[in-house]
């Protein structure tokens, strides 16, 4: 008598387990799904895959060139030093922390049924946990960087779906729509401004974009809401990129799209109203505030790596002799001496190392960045870095102001 029933918490975990079982593909479909996600693009990535990279560094042709020397040094660090490029103990600890905080938030909500302001506070902490998991787990698993077993990476990639974003479409856009075409107008999905932003000098300027450096943070705050309610559906049903128009998505991915959205909106919006008796307006407010946190964090972590006033915007993918030079020209690091930034942002502030070795777990990026810096200095190749994240954000906004004020812009 008088004890709170554990049934709501049990329902939550039963729902999560059932959803995972739905997402886990049958054995006979795993290879088919993996092929569909990889897409086998007709345009190669700017940097070879893990397997081809290990063969390429032993190629004697132009063995003293900057790309060859850099790749050989990175390869030697990851393999000859008997260091696995996959997850180390540091990442597994981060993963455990993130998942415990996420689960703990929902256990606290249903076990304690806190009053309004405490409910919002715990709900917002859940938003921080989702951001942390997407940057630190889902992004690495997207690149098969956590485990040598694709099944493990595939399962962890569903963290995106648990956070409301379709993992299948994210993988396509991130690999084919970014890594293979960094800062290329019309190809790099990260430069898609949807007529609100002008991210590249090769795009026509609209009058409204004169103020884009002023309203940028407002729209960045809507980033994750856009993905949850609009962007994923647009990419499936009204694609703008040619490679999406040519792609036949497996029917299973359409089912996961709707199941994932339904699951996310149910546990984020509906269950707190039905099981906890919270007003829908309170839950909706907490939901919007949570996504302001997620949207701003994820947008700024990524935007400050390619669209700053020191990076270059090639006119074609053939402009550089090597994809390594392309990466150095179009990518900027920030705050690489700050371990806290790297810990929170999933190492994405070490972004050049990420593009050179996307198959490596982000906990290795600090050491790889040191090799990148030393080799670039030795060969006189410009290495771009902002000393802090706040400086990186400032230089991103400076670029937006320049692109919004001029019909053309020459980056260096």
- The rounded distance, in Å, linking the Cα atoms of 224 and 372 is 32
Flag whether pLDDT at 313 surpasses 50. yes
pLDDT in tens, 11-26: 433 444 444 443 444 3
Q: How confident is the model at residue 80 (pLDDT cuts 50, 70, 90)?
A: confident
Q: According to the model, what pLDDT value does residue 282 have? A: 97
pLDDT in tens, 122-167: 999 999 999 999 999 999 999 999 999 999 999 999 999 999 999 9
- CA-to-CA separations, 60 to 56, 68, 75, 147, 307, in angstroms, rounded: 9, 9, 15, 31, 35
Residue with the two structure tokens 């777990």: 361
Token readout for 194 is 């949807």
Determine contact, residues 41/243, Cβ cutoff 8 Å. Answer: yes
Q: According to the model, what pLDDT value does residue 151 have? A: 93
- The rounded distance, in Å, linking the Cα atoms of 151 and 112 is 36
Q: According to the model, what pLDDT value does residue 26 have? A: 36
Q: Is the dihedral of CA 358, 360, 366, 369 positive or negative?
A: negative
B/e letters for 275-303, b = 16+ CB within 10 Å, e = fewer, are bbebeeebbeebbeebbbbbbbbbbbbbb
Q: According to the model, what pLDDT value does residue 46 have? A: 65
Flag whether pLDDT at 109 surpasses 70. yes
Q: According to the model, what pLDDT value does residue 17 have? A: 43
By CB atoms closer than 10 A (0-12, 13-18, 19+), residue 314 is buried
Phi-psi region of 361 (alpha: psi -120 to 50; beta: other; left: phi over 0): beta
Flag whether pLDDT at 5 surpasses 80. no
- The rounded distance, in Å, linking the Cα atoms of 272 and 4 is 16
Q: According to the model, what pLDDT value does residue 143 have? A: 94
Phi-psi region of 200 (alpha: psi -120 to 50; beta: other; left: phi over 0): beta
Residues whose CB falls within 8 Å of the CB of residue 81, separated by 6 or more in sequence, listed in order: none
Determine contact, residues 159/137, Cβ cutoff 8 Å. Answer: yes
- CA-to-CA separations, 307 to 191, 326, 384, 400, in angstroms, rounded: 8, 14, 12, 8
For residue 394, list its beta bridge partners: none
B/e letters for 245-254, b = 16+ CB within 10 Å, e = fewer, are eebebbebbe
In the chain, % of residues over pLDDT 90: 77
Flag whether pLDDT at 232 surpasses 50. yes
Greater confidence, 19 or 32?
A: 19
Q: According to the model, what pLDDT value does residue 233 have? A: 97
Report the SS3 class of residue 203: coil
- The rounded distance, in Å, linking the Cα atoms of 257 and 16 is 16
Flag whether pLDDT at 101 surpasses 90. yes
DSSP string, 41-92: -SS--SS--HHHHHHHTT--TTTTSHHHHHHHHHHIIIIIT---SS--HHHH
Q: Which of 7-16, 80-89, 186-195, 376-385 has the lowest mean pLDDT?
A: 7-16
- The rounded distance, in Å, linking the Cα atoms of 379 and 339 is 27
Flag whether pLDDT at 412 surpasses 60. no
- The rounded distance, in Å, linking the Cα atoms of 342 and 185 is 29
Greater confidence, 66 or 14?
A: 66
DSSP string, 130-176: HHHHIIIIIHHHHTT-S-S-HHHHHHHHTHHHHTTS-HHHHHHHHII
Determine contact, residues 360/368, Cβ cutoff 8 Å. Answer: yes
Is pTM beyond 0.75? Reply is: yes
Determine contact, residues 212/283, Cβ cutoff 8 Å. Answer: no
């Amino acid at each position: 008598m008088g004890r709170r029933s554990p049934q709501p918490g049990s329902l939550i975990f039963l729902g999560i387990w059932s959803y995972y079982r739905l997402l886990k593909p049958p054995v006979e479909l795993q290879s088919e799904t993996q092929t569909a996600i990889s897409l086998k693009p007709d345009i190669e990535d700017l940097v070879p895959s893990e397997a081809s990279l290990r063969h390429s560094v032993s190629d004697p042709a132009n063995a003293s060139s900057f790309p060859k020397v850099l790749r050989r040094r990175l390869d030697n660090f990851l393999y000859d030093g008997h260091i696995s490029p996959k997850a180390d103990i540091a990442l597994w600890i981060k993963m455990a922390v993130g998942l415990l905080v996420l689960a703990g938030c929902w256990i606290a909500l249903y076990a304690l049924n806190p009053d309004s302001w405490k409910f919002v506070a715990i709900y917002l902490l859940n938003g921080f946990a989702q951001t942390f998991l997407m940057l630190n787990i889902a992004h690495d698993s997207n690149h098969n960087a956590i485990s040598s077993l694709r099944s493990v990476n595939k399962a962890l990639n569903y963290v995106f779906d648990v956070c409301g974003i379709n993992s299948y479409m994210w993988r396509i856009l991130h690999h084919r729509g970014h890594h293979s075409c960094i800062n290329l107008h019309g190809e790099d999905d990260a430069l898609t401004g949807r007529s609100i932003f002008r991210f590249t000098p090769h795009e026509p300027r609209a009058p409204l974009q004169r103020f884009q450096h002023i309203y940028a943070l407002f729209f960045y705050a809507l980033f994750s809401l856009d993905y949850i309610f609009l962007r994923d559906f647009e990419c499936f049903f009204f694609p703008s990129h040619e490679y999406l128009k040519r792609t036949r998505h497996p029917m299973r991915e359409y089912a996961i799209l709707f199941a994932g959205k339904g699951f996310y909106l149910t546990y984020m919006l509906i269950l707190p109203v039905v099981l906890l008796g919270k007003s829908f307006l309170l839950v909706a407010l907490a939901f919007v505030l949570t996504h302001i946190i997620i949207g701003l964090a994820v947008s700024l972590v990524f935007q400050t790596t390619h669209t700053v006033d020191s990076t270059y915007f090639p006119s074609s993918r053939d402009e550089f002799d090597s994809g390594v030079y392309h990466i150095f020209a179009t990518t900027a690091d920030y705050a690489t001496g700050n371990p806290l930034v790297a810990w929170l942002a999933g190492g994405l502030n070490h972004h050049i190392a990420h593009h050179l070795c996307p198959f490596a777990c982000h906990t290795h990026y600090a050491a790889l960045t040191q090799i990148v810096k030393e080799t670039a200095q030795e060969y006189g190749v410009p290495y771009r870095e902002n000393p802090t994240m706040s400086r990186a954000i400032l230089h991103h906004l400076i670029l937006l102001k320049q692109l919004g004020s001029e019909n053309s812009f020459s980056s260096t």
